[in-house]
């Protein structure tokens, strides 16, 4: 197996994540190329797409969601992601089935036998009529408001939402600093059907992952998807793959003819939003995030800071306040790279102003 250096893996990942050069792509195509973008914090996908798409405007994402070409749903690692509707329909059933089974297991451990079917179908009917928020749906079911200190009702809600096949309505993807007021619709009416499961779905998910983040190990694949290898292996077996080995001897899998740029290819400075997938898609994250900075970037509670890349690797964090980008480098940045960062920061500030978010 051909060995790959850390810098070769870095450049391969940057190329597939559209971070070596911005590309003239639609939002839908960019999300498919990158495997989707995490969307826990509503501004993140806007910032992530700006760093990847040439000429991206905030309205491009708004329109893609409104036209049902892109959907926001709970998928990888039980977190909210924006993916193309095609990808959602191709593999979301894997997550739906897994989530229902896991929630039933957790409720059983709390002494409650969970059956989501009847009320789940009622929720699907209610949101087929019009998008509704979680508090509205709970009230219509005669259930109390959820309280942070009481875990059991939250587990029941998640199970009902999974059974109903809920995805976020367009209101949940609007650029804002919070998630309150989000409404839901059922995939079966919004997109025409629920997402697929089974071996074909697993193969599609694996293919998307490797195209976006390969070459990668089986542990990397499990880390990004949040699914056990027992679910993913049947999908792997459906694909023709090439194999490499990294500097630590780990076997890496990849798709035939997927790009592997030379390690000497220049990498431009780039700003990454909170929870950018490139920092979460591998079990070993050193191909982009140096180990000495990992605990600074990824907090114990799982929060992932906004970061910037210099020569392809995380070199600091950044914040946006009153329309101005503030840089917090981890170490002195070479003068030329500092100028590139400042130029890119000004372009980011202009994008934020144009989006009306100052």
pLDDT of residue 180: 61
pLDDT of residue 352: 95
Contact between 216 and 210 (Cβ < 8 Å)? yes
84 secondary structure, DSSP code: E
pLDDT of residue 160: 96
Total-model pTM:
0.95
pLDDT of residue 115: 87
- pLDDT by residue for the chain (358 residues), tens only, comes to 899 999 999 999 999 999 999 999 999 999 999 999 999 999 999 999 999 999 999 999 999 999 999 999 999 999 999 999 999 999 999 999 999 999 999 999 988 888 899 999 999 999 998 999 999 999 999 998 999 889 999 999 999 999 999 999 999 999 875 656 789 999 999 999 999 999 999 999 999 999 999 999 999 999 999 999 999 999 999 999 999 999 999 999 999 999 999 999 999 999 999 999 999 999 999 999 999 999 999 998 889 999 999 999 999 999 999 889 999 999 999 999 999 999 999 999 999 999 988 6
Which two three-digit tokens encode residue 260?
């592997």
Q: Which long-range contacts (CB under 8 A, 24 or more apart) does 276-279 make?
A: 276/37, 276/38, 276/44, 276/48, 276/304, 276/307, 277/17, 277/34, 277/35, 277/36, 277/37, 277/38, 277/212, 277/213, 277/224, 278/13, 278/17, 278/19, 278/213, 279/304, 279/307, 279/314
pLDDT of residue 177: 56
Residue appearing with tokens 């809600």: 157
Helices (H), 293-334: 294-297
Domains of the chain, residue spans: 2-190, 198-254, 270-354
Task: Provide the CATH number for the domain formed by 198-254 in this structure.
Answer: 1.10.10
Give every CB contact of residue 35 below 8 A, 6+ residues apart in sequence.
Answer: 83, 208, 209, 211, 212, 213, 224, 277, 281
Closest CA to 311 of 325, 292, 324, 329: 329
Is cis: bond before 301, omega within 30 of 0? no
pLDDT of residue 179: 58
Residue appearing with tokens 């039980």: 78
Closest CA to 49 of 66, 69, 29, 68: 29
């Amino acid at each position: 197996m051909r060995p790959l250096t850390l810098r070769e893996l870095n450049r391969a990942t940057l190329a597939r994540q559209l971070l070596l050069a911005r590309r003239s792509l639609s939002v839908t195509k960019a999300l498919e190329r990158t495997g989707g973008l995490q969307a826990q914090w509503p501004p993140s996908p806007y910032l992530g797409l700006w760093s990847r798409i040439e000429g991206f405007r905030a309205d491009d994402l708004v329109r893609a969601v409104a036209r049902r070409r892109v959907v926001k749903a709970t998928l990888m690692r039980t977190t909210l992601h924006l993916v193309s509707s095609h990808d959602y329909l191709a593999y979301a059933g894997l997550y739906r089935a897994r989530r229902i089974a896991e929630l039933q297991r957790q409720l059983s451990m709390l002494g409650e036998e969970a059956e989501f079917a009847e009320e789940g179908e009622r929720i699907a009917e209610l949101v087929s009529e019009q998008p509704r928020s979680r508090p509205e749906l709970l009230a219509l079911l005669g259930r109390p408001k959820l309280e942070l200190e009481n875990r059991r009702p939250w587990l029941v809600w998640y199970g009902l939402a999974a059974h109903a096949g809920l995805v976020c309505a367009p209101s949940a993807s609007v650029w804002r600093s919070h998630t309150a007021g989000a409404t839901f619709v059922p995939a079966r009416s919004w997109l025409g059907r629920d997402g697929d499961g089974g071996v074909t779905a697993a193969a599609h998910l694996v293919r998307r992952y490797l195209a976006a983040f390969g070459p990668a190990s089986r542990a990397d694949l499990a880390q990004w998807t949040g699914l056990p290898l027992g679910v993913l292996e049947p999908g792997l077996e459906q694909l023709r793959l090439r194999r490499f080995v990294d500097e630590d001897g780990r076997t890496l899998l990849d798709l035939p003819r997927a790009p592997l740029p030379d390690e000497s290819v220049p990498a431009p400075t780039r700003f990454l939003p909170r929870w950018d997938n490139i920092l979460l898609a591998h079990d070993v994250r050193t191909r982009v995030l140096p180990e000495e900075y990992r605990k600074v970037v990824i907090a114990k509670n799982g929060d992932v800071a906004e970061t910037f890349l210099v020569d392809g690797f995380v070199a600091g964090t950044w914040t946006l306040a009153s329309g101005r980008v503030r840089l917090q480098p981890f170490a002195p940045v070479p003068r030329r790279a500092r100028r590139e960062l400042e130029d890119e920061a000004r372009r980011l500030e202009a994008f934020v102003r144009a989006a009306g978010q100052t």
